[in-house]
Amino acid sequence: MKRVRSRELARNVVNIGVPRSAGFTLLELITVVAIIGILVGIALPNYKTAIIQSREAVLKEDLFRFRDVIDQYYADKGKYPATLDVLVDEGYLRKIPADPMTGSADWEVVMSEQDPDNPADTPGVYDVKSASTSNSQSGTPYNEW
């Protein structure tokens, strides 16, 4: 009878001829997937917050530019523009920007009051606000900015 050393028998039974360095164990793979899941769970809310903050910054900039251009138009012409399209037609704006909160150029316009000295003069666009009814991160509605 041939004697088999216990070391060779253990290697053949446990590893079945496959060397240990050939791959990863299931436990190692599960650990890596769990760590990646935790990191994604931490990063995703921060990413969403950064997107909202960038949209709010664009909205503030657009509103500032609109109001500045309306003031320039009033200083040049002595009256407010009848519509926002007049600002584009007369070269004050290249195009009407899209509202970053709604995704379209559907701005809410605030008309100026009727001039009591000149009742025949039509009121023009005095101010512009966002058409979004959502609230900002500070809690104020976007259409009140």
Domain residue limits, the chain: 54-137
Tell me the one-letter amino acid at 82.
A
DSSP 142: G
Which residue matches tokens 């500032």? 64
Q: For residue range 91-140, what is the model confidence (pLDDT) as tens digits? A: 999 999 999 999 999 999 999 888 777 777 788 999 999 999 999 999 99
Q: Which residues pair with 35 in a beta bridge?
A: none
SS3 state at 141: strand
Q: For residue range 33-86, what is the model confidence (pLDDT) as tens digits? A: 999 999 999 999 899 999 999 999 999 999 999 999 999 999 999 899 999 999
Instruction: Over range 87-94, report the average pLDDT.
Output: 94
Instruction: Return the half-sphere exposure (C-beta side, CA atoms, 13 A cut-off) of residue 7.
Output: 0
